[in-house]
Amino acid sequence: MKIAIMQPYLFPYIGYFQLIKAVDVFVLLDNVSHIKKGWINRNRIIVNGNEYMFTIPLRNSSQNKMIRDIQVASDNKWKAKFFKTIEYGYKKAPYFKDTFPIICEIINDTESYLSRFIYNSLLLLNKYLKIDTTIIKSSSKYKNDNLKAEHKIIDICKKENADHYINPIGGLEFYDKQSFYDNGLKINFLRTKEIRYKQLCNYFIQNLSIIDVMMNNSPLAIGNMLEQYELI
């Protein structure tokens, strides 16, 4: 059984969804410390032909809190601004009419805790992308707040009876493969191949939010992109 474990990211890049599709169980790691200026509540899109970073405001966020305890800002004014930004940036995109309602449903979610908000968003996005992987929030099941780094990862793998752990390529220099092998786990790292498509700008910008991918490509085309990776 294949498993992947990642922090919850909002509207992440396509490599995140490749990882979800590549496994049987995908765990949202929300019982770890929140790191400011990460990807948990922001990402990149294109607005007026240029790269633009959007951010979902948080309520009393702190690096002393776990992700599971971080809340979305209660002031809903940011939602109207977000919708206007997306509409302004993508109203001429070929799949705007298909994608915009999904984004609206995600952002209009009344869930106040960010990790649950992102969990709900991934369920909707996976449905559109035809990904049927099981998603679990780590805080809802494993009771291993005391464990750190790969010890927490290995503990989750064991509790799910997984025998194959897959991590993004960025973890190649951080994880000791022997530790996984000693615990009966095969480990691989997913590297996204070069993916290009027509964007609403004069040059291609890699690894933008899945919003940009969905606005500019059909579900079938995205399905093909989700297979464009290799395991190292």
**Count of domains for the chain:** 1
| Averaged pLDDT for residues 175-204 | 95
Mean pLDDT estimate for the chain: 95
Q: Taking the C-alpha atoms of 96, 101, 103 and 109 in order, what is their torsion angle to the nearest 10 degrees? A: 170
Residues 192 and 29 sit within 8 Å (Cβ to Cβ): no
Give SS3 for 55: strand
Which pLDDT score is estimated for 171?
86
- Banded model confidence at residue 136, pLDDT cuts 50, 70, 90: very high
Ranges 38-47, 169-178, 209-218: which has the least confidence: 169-178
DSSP assigned state of 52: E
196 versus 63: the higher-pLDDT residue is: 196
Residues 36 and 65 sit within 8 Å (Cβ to Cβ): no
- Banded model confidence at residue 36, pLDDT cuts 50, 70, 90: confident
pLDDT at 61 over 80: no
| Domain extent for 87 | 2-231
CA angle 210, 213, 217 (to 5 degrees): 145
Q: One-letter amino acid identity for 136?
A: I
pLDDT at 54 over 90: yes
Residues 168 and 19 sit within 8 Å (Cβ to Cβ): yes
Give SS3 for 168: strand
CA distance 168 to 229: 11
CA distance 232 to 229: 10
Residues 149 and 36 sit within 8 Å (Cβ to Cβ): no
Ranges 11-15, 58-62, 67-71: which has the least confidence: 58-62
- Banded model confidence at residue 38, pLDDT cuts 50, 70, 90: confident
- Banded model confidence at residue 173, pLDDT cuts 50, 70, 90: confident
Number of H helices, E strands in the chain: 8, 10
